[in-house]
């Protein structure tokens, strides 16, 4: 005969007060760490805790209105809190709508990389067990008028206390609210609840009609030969500029590209328009720059692939990642990998024959798996020893030494260089019949433990440099330089200046000779170094 758990008798106010205290103490270590980083003063920490306690208490007073509703919400929240705690404590991430969007758009293979052995224990200890305890509670409520009066009274007292605390130094708290909004993304459960609401609002964009762009576009041919154009855009993944030897990193992670050194142009000051794939990739293909791009607009608005396709270029997207993030909805799409952990050389499989069959002006996008973590050791061949040893083989990352983590990541960058080398070799075979240009740019960077941060997807304004500063390079043969009248020395000089994802849309349109009101010559990296008229 099984023994039932004893029932716990409590009233609504006792339950709410304990529930708020439990939520703060158990799930919000990351929040208090960030609060302490702002000001380590004990009085400041105490005041901040009282404010947050009071705000959560008032919110739950509005939501926990009957025993049934209270139990359903309380159980749902402890399960959600446990998952939030796991990811935040494991990778020191913040949770906003972009992070939730990444979760929605990832695939099962990528998601599984984030699940460590400790996940079930955390969900059991911080989610399921508290949920069972809540289910055994008998929560008494007074008649609704008395209950309402009691709650209004308590909420009023809390509001007065919060007002008094803030009144001591209103400018101080205003500055914290305006300049340290990372606190909002660290506070459980409001962070993931707000994020889910934000994503649901964003997906309302699906109901809006499709909006074409560059409808006034036309092609003005400026090249003086009969060759077709082949423009290749390699969308890198999670590569950070700090680990590219082309940008003076001490390790020779780009060794494979040395043979093409004279034909390559590296951009040492190139920045991403987002810190996650779900934001950065759509932004890369958008006519809008980082300041104007609205996450979700890719769902019903044309992009670079559409403009190229509508102006005589066969647009083809080959993917070895989590899909095209709605940038290939109206063009040819090929999923290069049908399983888990395909290496990026799968993108080159059959590509030569594919290009020969297309036999027209072509815009080719190759979306890499690149250096996506946390299992960096799966991003390069295992059948031969990688150059940097020993490596981190724990997706938890924190159990690895700094050296092991860097070694695994640098090996993935080394392999990206090998991939680009093989691609360039393949493209050279088309030099006789095509004007060829290849642009490589990562979607975003990565944190590798700097300041205790790992992975990526931090809110942009508070994200570390490593997540925003990305590698970008340009390759084309000398014949293309002559035929497209591009001054390479000029490009090299220009490359030292600041550039970003904002330049990509307009640079490809400029290369393709596409004229439109959406084209901005000042963002075209080729325009200052190209003679397009006789």
CB 303 within 8 A of CB 126: no
Is residue 379 in a domain? no
- In a shared domain, residues 160 and 234: no
Q: Where are the beta strands (DSSP E) in 237-329?
A: 264-266, 270-271, 314-319
- Distance CA(257)–CA(385), nearest Å, equals 19
Q: Backbone phi, then psi, for 264, in 5-degree steps?
A: -90, 150
Strand partners, 472: 441
Q: Are residues 164 and 237 in the same domain?
A: no
Q: CA–CA separation, 374 vs 394, rounded Å?
A: 8
Judge contact between 422 and 256, C-beta under 8 A: no
Question: Is 1 inside any structural domain?
Answer: no
- DSSP character string of 130-159: HHHHHHTEEEE---HHHHHHHHHHHHHHHH
Low-confidence ranges of the chain (pLDDT < 50): 1
Are residues 234 and 179 part of one domain?
no
Those residues whose C-beta lies under 8 Å from the C-beta of residue 85, and which sit 6 or more positions away, are: 26, 27, 29, 122, 126, 188
Whether residue 2 lies inside any domain: the answer is no
Q: Is 207 helix (H, G, I), strand (E, B) or coil?
A: helix
**pTM for this structure?**
0.81
User: What is the DSSP code (8-state) at residue 308?
Assistant: H
- Contact by Cβ (8 Å): 485, 531: yes
pLDDT at 1: 44
Same domain, 498 and 427: yes
Nearest to 59 by CA among 23, 34, 31, 97: 23
Amino acid 205: pLDDT? 60
**What's the structural domain count of the chain?**
2
Spell out the residues 6+ positions from residue 442 whose beta carbon is closer than 8 angstroms to its own: 235, 236, 237, 238, 239, 240, 272, 370, 470, 471, 472
In degrees to the nearest 10, what's the CA dihedral of 448, 232, 502, 521? 150
Distance CA 493, CA 135 (A): 67
Report strand pairing: 332-335 vs 362-367. unpaired
Structure tokens given for 429 = 């075979």
What is the number of H-type helices and E-type strands within the chain? Answer: 20, 16
For residue 219, what are the β-bridge partners? 514
156 in the same domain as 35: yes
Choosing from 204, 219, 239, the residue where a domain stops is 204
Q: Are residues 233 and 148 in the same domain?
A: no
pLDDT in tens, 485-503: 999 999 999 999 999 999 9
For residue 198, what pLDDT is reported?
A: 81
Q: Residue 311 maps to which CATH number?
A: 3.40.720.10
| Residues 178 and 250 grouped into a single domain | no
In order, the DSSP letters of 511-531 are: HHTEE-TT--GGG-SSGGGB-
In a domain, 412, yes or no: no
- C-alpha pair distances (Å), 31 with each of 46, 89, 170: 13, 11, 21
Q: Are 49 and 158 in contact (CB under 8 A)?
A: no
216 within some domain: no
Domain shared by 184 and 302, yes or no: no
- Category of 297 on φ-ψ map: left (φ > 0), alpha (ψ -120 to 50) or beta: alpha
| Predicted local confidence at residue 197, as pLDDT | 85
136 and 199 co-located in one domain:
yes
Inter-CA distances, 408 with 152, 250, 418, Å: 57, 16, 16
- Looking at residue 446, its pLDDT comes to 95
Q: Are 176 and 251 part of one and the same domain?
A: no
Q: Return the pLDDT at 58.
A: 93
Query: Burial level of 452, CB count in 10 A (0-12/13-18/19+)?
Result: exposed
Considering the domain boundaries, does residue 168 fall inside one? yes
Of 527, 469, 486, 480, nearest to 503 (Cα)? 527
Strand partners, 10: 139
Which residues, 6+ apart, have CB-to-CB distance to 498 below 8 Å? 269, 271
Residues 236 and 169 in one domain: no
Question: Is residue 215 situated within a structural domain?
Answer: no
Chain length of the chain: 534
**Centroid of chain to Cα 444:** 7
DSSP state, residue 93: -
Residue 301, domain member (yes or no): yes
DSSP code for 436: E
CB atoms within 10 A of CB 353: 9
Residue 182 near residue 34, CB atoms below 8 Å: yes
Q: Which two tokens stand for residue 127?
A: 């989610």
Half-sphere exposure in the Cβ direction for 340 (13 Å, CA): 10
Sign of CA dihedral 24, 27, 32, 34: negative
**Residue 481 near residue 526 (C-beta atoms within 8 A):** no
| pLDDT at residue 383 in the model | 84
Express the helix, strand and coil content of the chain in percent, nearest 5 each: 50, 15, 35
Q: Quote the domain boundaries for residue 117.
A: 8-204
DSSP string, 316-372: EEEESSS--TTSSTTSEEEE--SSSS--GGGGGTTHHHHHHHH-S-EEEEEE--TT-
| 23 plus 172 within the same structural domain | yes
* Rounded Cα–Cα distance for residues 436 and 260 (Å): 15
- 253: tokens are 């992670």
């Amino acid at each position: 005969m099984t023994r039932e758990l004893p029932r716990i008798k409590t009233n609504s106010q006792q339950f709410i007060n304990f529930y708020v205290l439990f939520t703060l103490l158990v799930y919000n270590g990351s929040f208090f760490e960030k609060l302490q980083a702002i000001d380590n003063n004990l009085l400041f920490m105490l005041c901040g805790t009282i404010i947050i306690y009071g705000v959560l208490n008032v919110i739950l007073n509005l939501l926990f209105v009957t025993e049934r509703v209270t139990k359903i919400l309380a159980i749902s929240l402890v399960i959600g809190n446990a998952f939030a705690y796991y990811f935040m404590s494991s990778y020191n991430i913040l949770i906003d709508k972009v992070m939730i969007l990444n979760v929605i758009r990832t695939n099962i293979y990528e998601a599984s990389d984030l699940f460590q052995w400790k996940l079930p224990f955390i969900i059991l200890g911080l989610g399921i067990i508290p949920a069972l305890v809540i289910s055994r509670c008998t929560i008494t409520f007074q008649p609704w008028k008395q209950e309402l009066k009691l709650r209004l009274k308590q909420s009023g007292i809390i509001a007065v206390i919060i007002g008094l605390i803030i009144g001591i130094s209103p400018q101080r708290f205003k500055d914290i609210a305006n300049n340290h909004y990372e606190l909002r993304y660290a506070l459980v459960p409001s962070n993931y609840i707000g994020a889910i609401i934000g994503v649901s609002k964003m997906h309302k964009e699906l109901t809006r009609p499709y909006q074409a762009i560059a409808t006034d576009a036309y092609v003005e041919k400026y090249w003086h030969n009969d060759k077709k154009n082949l423009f290749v855009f390699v969308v890198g993944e999670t590569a950070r500029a700090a680990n590219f030897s082309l940008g003076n990193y001490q390790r020779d992670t780009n060794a494979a590209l040395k043979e093409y050194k004279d034909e390559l142009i590296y951009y040492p000051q190139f920045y991403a328009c987002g810190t996650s794939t779900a934001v950065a990739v759509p932004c890369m293909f958008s006519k809008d720059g980082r300041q104007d791009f609205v996450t979700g607009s890719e769902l019903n608005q044309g992009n670079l692939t559409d403009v190229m396709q509508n102006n005589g270029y066969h647009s083809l997207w080959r993917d070895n990642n989590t899909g095209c993030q709605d940038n290939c909805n109206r063009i040819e799409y090929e999923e290069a990998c049908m399983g888990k952990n395909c290496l990026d050389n799968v993108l080159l499989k059959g590509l030569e024959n594919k290009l020969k069959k297309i036999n027209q002006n072509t815009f080719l996008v190759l979306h890499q798996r690149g250096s996506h973590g946390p299992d960096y050791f799966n991003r390069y061949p295992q059948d031969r020893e990688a150059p940097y040893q020993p490596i981190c083989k724990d997706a938890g990352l924190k159990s690895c030494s700094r050296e092991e983590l860097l070694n695994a990541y640098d090996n993935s960058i080394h392999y990206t260089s090998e991939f680009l080398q093989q691609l360039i070799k393949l493209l050279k075979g088309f030099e006789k019949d095509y004007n060829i240009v290849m642009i490589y740019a990562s979607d975003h960077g990565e944190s590798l433990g700097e300041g205790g941060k790992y992975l990526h997807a931090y809110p942009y304004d508070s994200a570390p440099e490593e997540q925003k500063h990305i590698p970008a390079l340009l390759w084309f043969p000398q014949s293309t330089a002559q035929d497209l009248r591009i001054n390479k020395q000029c490009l090299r000089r220009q490359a030292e200046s600041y550039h970003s994802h904002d330049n990509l849309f307009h640079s490809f349109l400029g290369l393709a000779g596409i004229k439109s009101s959406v084209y901005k010559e000042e963002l075209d990296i080729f325009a200052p170094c190209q003679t397009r008229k006789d």
